[in-house]
Amino acid sequence: MLPFSRVAILGLGLIGSSVARAIRAAMPTVRLSGSDADPAVRARVIELDILDDVADGAGAAVVDADLVILCVPVGAMAAVAAEIAPELSPGTVISDVGSVKGQVLADLTAALPGMAIIPAHPVAGTENSGPDAGFATLFRNRWCIITPANDADPLAVERVKSFWTAIGSNVEVMDARHHDLVLAVTSHLPHLIAYTIVSTASDLEDVTRSEVIKYSAGGFRDFTRIAASDPTMWRDVFLSNKEAVLETLQRFSEDLSALQRAIRWNDGDALHTLFTRSRAVRRAIIDAGQDTAAADFGREHE
C-alpha cells in the first residue's frame, strides 16, 4: 500500500524535481502537483512533464494533497507555510527537505497549528540547481533523516519513513537539535570552509584570478565544486543553524591553530598523526558506501 496518493512539491529545483522524478519511477500511480515562485521554473517543469499539475501559486498546488513537501530555502519555509495554510486538507502531512531542522520545525509548527508536521532531510545533492539538474536516483542509498517533534503522530512518522524508503533512501529518525549539530560538522562547516578558501584564493594580491583557474589542482578544484552550491540556500542554512555552526566553527578554529603551531615548530609527528586519523575517516566513508574509492572520485575522463 502506498503511503500517500497525492503529493504536492513546493519548490522545483534540484531536490524538488528529483523528488518528483523519484516518485514517478517508484510510485507511478501517485498524483503529483507542485509550484515554484519562479515562472520560468514552472514553465520548464511543464516542458519536462515531471508533474501532473503545475500551479501558479503554492496554495493552489496543495489542494487535496495528503503529503506536502516544502523544497524551498529554509529561510522561506515560514512564509510558504503561511501561504498554504488556508488550502490544506485535514489530515495532510507536511514535510520538507531542508538541511536545518530545529528552525524549520519551529517555523512550520507556528504557521500550521494542528497539522501533522514531520520534517525530513535527504542527505543528498549536487552543486547544480534548477529542474534540469534533478534525477530520479539522487536519493538512492543515501540517508534521509526524519526529525519529528516528541509529540508527533506516530502514524504520520511511519508514513513519511515509508515514503523515503520507497524512493530508495536509508531512513533514520533523530532529534532536530542533534541533527543540526551533526550536519554543522558534516555539511555546513565544510561548505563554509569551501566558500572561504575560494574567496581567499581570489583575493590574493600575488596570485591572479587567471592563475587560480589555470593551475587549480584537485584539492582546490573540489572546493570550488562545493562553493558552487546555491548561495541563497546556504545563506539561509547558516543563519538558521547559527548556534551549531558557531560552536563547530569555534572547535575548528582551535584545531586550525594547533595545526598552525605544528607547522611553525616543525612538529612532523603531530602532522602525521592528524593526517593518519583523517585518512581513516575517508576509508570509513567509503566502507559505508557513501562515496566511491575510484580514482579521482569516480570522474570520467576522455
Kindly report, residue by residue over 38-80, the tens digit of the pLDDT: 999 999 999 999 999 999 999 999 999 999 999 999 999 999 9
Indicate the number of domains in the chain: 2
Looking at the fold, whether 76 and 215 belong to one and the same domain comes out as no
Average pLDDT, whole number, for the chain?
A: 88
- For residue 193, pLDDT beyond 50: yes
Looking at the fold, whether 63 and 141 belong to one and the same domain comes out as yes
Looking at the fold, whether 146 and 255 belong to one and the same domain comes out as no
Predicted local distance difference test score (pLDDT) of residue 292: 55
- With bands split at pLDDT 50, 70 and 90, how would you rate the model's confidence at 5? very high
286 assigned to some structural domain:
no
Domain assignment of residue 139, given as a range:
6-174
- For residue 211, pLDDT beyond 60: yes
Q: In this structure, what CATH number is given to the domain that contains residue 250?
A: 1.10.3660.10
Predicted local distance difference test score (pLDDT) of residue 285: 62
Predicted local distance difference test score (pLDDT) of residue 270: 86
What average pLDDT does this structure show over 114-127?
91
Predicted local distance difference test score (pLDDT) of residue 286: 63
Looking at the fold, whether 37 and 140 belong to one and the same domain comes out as yes
> What stretches of the chain show up as alpha helix (H) in DSSP?
14-26, 39-48, 58-61, 77-84, 102-111, 154-166, 176-183, 189-203, 209-214, 218-227, 231-240, 242-264, 268-287
Predicted local distance difference test score (pLDDT) of residue 218: 63
Q: In this structure, what CATH number is given to the domain that contains residue 148?
A: 3.40.50.720
What average pLDDT does this structure show over 229-253?
86
| More confident position, 198 or 208 | 198
Predicted local distance difference test score (pLDDT) of residue 197: 79
272 assigned to some structural domain:
no
Taking CA 84 as the corner, what is the angle to CA 7 and CA 31, rounded to the nearest 5 degrees? 15
195 assigned to some structural domain:
yes
290 assigned to some structural domain:
no
- With bands split at pLDDT 50, 70 and 90, how would you rate the model's confidence at 301? very low
Looking at the fold, whether 83 and 164 belong to one and the same domain comes out as yes
270 assigned to some structural domain:
no
47 assigned to some structural domain:
yes
Predicted local distance difference test score (pLDDT) of residue 226: 76
Which of 139, 174, 209 lies at the terminal end of a domain, its last residue?
A: 174
Looking at the fold, whether 119 and 40 belong to one and the same domain comes out as yes
69 assigned to some structural domain:
yes
Identify any residues that bridge with 69 across adjacent strands, giving them in sequence order: 9, 95
- With bands split at pLDDT 50, 70 and 90, how would you rate the model's confidence at 302? very low
Q: What confidence tens digit (pLDDT) does each residue in 260-299 have?
A: 998 999 998 888 888 888 777 677 666 666 655 555 555 4
- Cβ burial 72-106 (10 Å sphere, 16+ → b, else e): bbbbbbbebbebbeebbeeebbbbbbbbbbbbbbe
Looking at the fold, whether 256 and 133 belong to one and the same domain comes out as no
Looking at the fold, whether 147 and 29 belong to one and the same domain comes out as yes
Q: Which of 169-183, 186-200, 249-263 has the lowest mean pLDDT?
A: 186-200
What average pLDDT does this structure show over 172-186?
91
Looking at the fold, whether 195 and 99 belong to one and the same domain comes out as no
Which of 124, 153, 174 lies at the terminal end of a domain, its last residue?
A: 174
What's the Cα-to-Cα distance from 29 to each of 1, 6, 24, 26, 108, rounded to whole Å? 11, 9, 8, 9, 28
Looking at the fold, whether 44 and 115 belong to one and the same domain comes out as yes
Looking at the fold, whether 159 and 214 belong to one and the same domain comes out as no
Q: What confidence tens digit (pLDDT) does each residue in 7-40 have?
A: 999 999 999 999 999 999 999 999 999 999 999 9
220 assigned to some structural domain:
yes
- With bands split at pLDDT 50, 70 and 90, how would you rate the model's confidence at 127? confident
Identify any residues that bridge with 37 across adjacent strands, giving them in sequence order: none
Identify any residues that bridge with 95 across adjacent strands, giving them in sequence order: 69
Which of 158, 174, 190 lies at the terminal end of a domain, its last residue?
A: 174
Looking at the fold, whether 30 and 145 belong to one and the same domain comes out as yes
Q: Which residue has the cell 566553527?
A: 249
